[in-house]
Amino acid sequence: MPVTTISFADDATLALSIVLFLLGLTGLVTQRKIIKQVFCLKIMLQGVSLALIHAGRLQGDLFLAQSMVISALIVEAVVIAVALALIVNVYRHYPSGDVDDLTRLRG
């Protein structure tokens, strides 16, 4: 197995994926509006996708990494579609869109 050296571009890609994930996580925890939380979730998922591609490049198996990212994008599209449907229902009952108001829901 050949030994590969890690270049500055590899470090920058890994750092960018970590920054994207942490930025999304911070926004997900701190934001109160549900639409902003969905955007932050999307940012987190983009960081994970970038990290998957980076890991595949380092391991030398880009086909596996690309298939994992495509699968992740399909799951992400389904999650975003369900989240947007929930957002529409939240805004119907609570026009402010504040997630703290959702504690009053009964079901």
Per-residue pLDDT of the chain (107 residues; tens, 9 = 90+): 555 566 777 788 999 999 999 999 999 999 988 889 889 999 999 999 999 999 998 888 889 999 999 999 999 899 889 988 988 888 887 788 777 777 766 65
Strands (E), the chain: none
State the total domains in the chain: 1
In a domain, 104, yes or no: no
pTM comes to 0.78
CATH number reported for the structural domain that contains residue 63 in this entry: 1.10.287.3510
In a domain, 107, yes or no: no
In a domain, 103, yes or no: no
Take residue 34 and report the two structure tokens written for it. Answer: 């549900």
In a domain, 83, yes or no: yes
In a domain, 26, yes or no: yes
In a domain, 101, yes or no: no
In a domain, 40, yes or no: yes
Burial of 100 (0-12, 13-18, 19+ CB in 10 A): exposed
Take residue 10 and report the two structure tokens written for it. Answer: 């590899």
Strands (E), 23-90: none
| Structural domain span for residue 86 | 12-91
